[in-house]
Chains A and B, each alone.
Chain A
Amino acid sequence: MPLFKKQPPPTVSPERLYRSTPVVTPSIQYEEDSKGIVTILIPVKEGDKVVRTLKVKLDAIGSKVWKKIDGKTSFNEICQWMKNEFMITEKEAEVSLSMFIKSLADKRLVALVLPPPKPGTAEVIEEIERIRFEMRELEKAYKKRRVDEKTYKEVKASYEEALKELENLEKPKD
């Protein structure tokens, strides 16, 4: 058993996940065959140059759901669509969609745009923890030279700014 377990990323409350919107990472493209099956095209870069493209083929269900991830349709709306399209219950839609999005997010193909946390609620603390976690991940990526200095500084600054705003939200209003 490892002495130091890798800390899992902070979770998002189901309530907030429901209000979020999944978006495809801008550099990701996809192609669709005559049967509607989607193949995701992932560019592999060396510096600024794309050296090859990885292909991930989805199944019939994944393809249909992928096409719904347009950056405008919320998690909740996709769930409702899945309910009718596949004749499943809300719970089944929620669990299936969150698992699908998690698998895509782990590969950095998709990200979740979370709604702002409700001031004075546990959502603020949850968001602070999430940003701190992302900052630590960014730091690691920079040290391993997976992120260039310019991007590192820009992203770090935006995280710090977000943290300041959140810390203000956390404080009880007079």
Chain B
Amino acid sequence: MENLERVCWLEVELQHPKGWSMTAEGGGVNNGYLKIDSRTKTKIELKWERLSVKEGAKPELQPPVLVNRLIEEQEKKLKKKKIKTEILERGSVEVCGHKAYLIRWRGEVEALSFSWICREEIKIFLANYYLEPGEKLEDVKNWFIPSIICHTPDTYWRYRLFGVEFKIPKEYKLNYRKLVIGKPLMVFRNEATIAIYWTYFAREILSNYGSLFQWSKKEIPGEFEKAIKGLNRDKLKLDENKSMMFLEEKVHTGLGREPLAKKVIIWYDSNSNKIFVLGYLGPREGLESLNSVKESIVFKPD
């Protein structure tokens, strides 16, 4: 559908109508949470948790338990406001090839809560969809539920923020982020670190600074530098096409230890009017993952 927009965040993909936006998110390593609001109301909440399950055993936490627990909590909260909670329907629905346990209920508003276990990723999910008066349940079942992706056969997770989409190798987890409008910073970690930062209004900002080098002297956030344990700007080299700068060095971490590789790439992308900064710190053999992230960056505005 043309009026829908895709969210790719924290190892989950889903779609929502244009004009809605992600207003809260959290977690990244062992759990994840995201909230999507329309211009006036909360519409979608989704959270997941990694399960520790022995092979062949059934996970302790089961979807019906999770959904019923959620409704009980809501019941308690709403009781204080003297609002009665009512169960309208119990059933099941398929989410990304998994059977999800579903309850349609009414508290302050009508809502759809469903939970499922993703065996491929060994995670348990819980999703809430808050209906508005006049909104048809069947429509939501048609466009929202089938759009949820909790696992893929790919080796990467897709991330999408402010129209910028990129792919992060699955072994990396979102460890730190500062999601400032137009200037987000994200740090992904496994045994190595990948940091990504970009800024909008690049053309206008660069006209002010005169060059990418001058810009990099002042505008790369401290958190980015911290993530890759420092950035020596004097070692930045200018690429032939002059719209890219890079740095590659060895970082010694102690006697008898293999030195780590550090790589930073800074470039201006005229197609998206953005300056991107990508950094890597980790074992030399992992450097390729930085290039694959760089290659995957695309700008797809809504």
Contacts and interface: CB of A to CB of B under 8 A. Distances in A.
B204 A60 contact: yes
A103 interface: no
A73 B18 CA distance: 23
Interface in B173-217: 181-182, 200-201, 203-205, 207-208
A13 B182 contact: no
Contacts of A4: none
B153 interface: no
Contacts of A14: 39-40
Interface stretch (A85-93, A132-140, A142-150, A158-166): A85-93
B301 interface: yes
Chain B residues touching A, range: 20 to 34
A96 B302 contact: no
Interface in A84-128: 86-92, 95-96
A92 B39 contact: no
B39 A88 contact: no
Given A13-B40, A14-B39, A83-B301, A88 B204 contact: no
A91 B201 CA distance: 14
Given A15-B39, A91-B21, A86 B201 contact: yes
Contact of A88 (B163, B205, B271): B163
Nearest to B274: A87
A31 interface: no
A88 B40 contact: no
B204 A59 contact: yes
Interface string A15-59: 100000000000000000000000000000000000000000001
Secondary structure dominating the interface of B: loop
A87 B299 contact: yes
Contact of B200 (A64, A86, A90): A86
B96 to A, nearest CB: 27
B147 interface: no
Contacts of A95: 181-182
Interface string A52-84: 000000011100100000000000000000010
A89 B204 CA distance: 16
Interface residues of A, number: 17
A61 B204 contact: yes
A61 B206 CA distance: 11
Nearest to B20: A91
A90 B271 CA distance: 17
Interface in B270-301: 271-274, 299, 301
B208 A88 contact: no
A138 B121 CA distance: 61
B207 A88 contact: no
B40 A92 contact: no
B21 A88 contact: no
A89 B272 contact: no
A87 B273 CA distance: 6
A83 B272 CA distance: 11
A104 B180 CA distance: 21
Given A60-B207, A88-B163, 7 more contacts: A86-B203, A87-B274, A88-B273, A89-B163, A91-B181, A92-B163, A96-B182
Interface of B: 18-19, 21, 39-40, 162-163, 181-182, 200-201, 203-205, 207-208, 271-274, 299, 301-302
27 contacts: A14-B39, A14-B40, A59-B204, A59-B208, A60-B204, A60-B207, A61-B201, A61-B204, A64-B204, A83-B301, A86-B200, A86-B204, A86-B273, A87-B200, A87-B271, A87-B272, A87-B299, A88-B162, A88-B201, A88-B273, A89-B163, A90-B18, A91-B21, A91-B162, A92-B181, A92-B182, A95-B181
Nearest first, the 3 A-B pairs at minimum CB distance are: A87-B273, A60-B204, A89-B163
Interface of A: 13-15, 59-61, 64, 83, 86-92, 95-96
